[in-house]
Amino acid sequence: MRKEPILDFAARPEPGPLKEVVDVLTRTIGRTVAIGTVPMLTEVGGHVVTDAATTPGTALAFTRTFIDLADAGVDNLRLVVRAKNSVAGSVTVQLYDVTSSVVLCTVVVTGTTETTYAGAWVTVVPGSDDRELELRVVGDGAADPTIYTAQLQMRTTQARR
């Protein structure tokens, strides 16, 4: 990923009606890039989080990675996980920003059947440097969820000049 837009209107039209349309489209939808995906956890047999702790949750330190959201031009994030819980209740998987000590986005895992869950898109303000991110699992202190895959999905929705 780069700081420059990946997809842009290649040729700028001469002043006139067409240029006005292109300018309105650029202001409205921005310069778009494809969704980027960062695998945070992939384990065929599943990773069991024993007794997922209550707040602040159980940190999965082995999922830590550095991402420069500003350099990637990212302003929206969400988590997509394939997981199941050991009991009928729910647990929350969080993307935690270790650098800023803040939760960036979450997804709730419910039920005991292995299922894919997608969290809501969350708007973020990119910092000016790398952020160290990790997954955390928040439970009731007794649930043992199993996570098979967890991906961070990123996209850009704002115009970049």
Fold designation for 34-155: Jelly Rolls (2.60.120)
Task: Give the global pTM.
Answer: 0.77
Burial 66-100 (b: 16+ CB within 10 A, else e): ebbbbebbbbbbbbbbbbbbbeeeebbbbbbbeee
What pLDDT digit, counting tens, does each position of 110-152 carry?
A: 999 999 999 999 999 887 788 999 999 999 999 999 999 999 9
Q: What percent of the chain has pLDDT over 90?
A: 59
Give domain limits for the chain: 34-155
What mean pLDDT comes out for the span 72-101? 93
What mean pLDDT comes out for the span 75-88? 94
What pLDDT digit, counting tens, does each position of 26-53 carry?
A: 666 655 555 788 999 999 999 999 999 9
3-state secondary structure 93-111: EEEEECCCCEEEEEEEEEC
Nearest to 150 by CA among 18, 9, 43, 3: 43
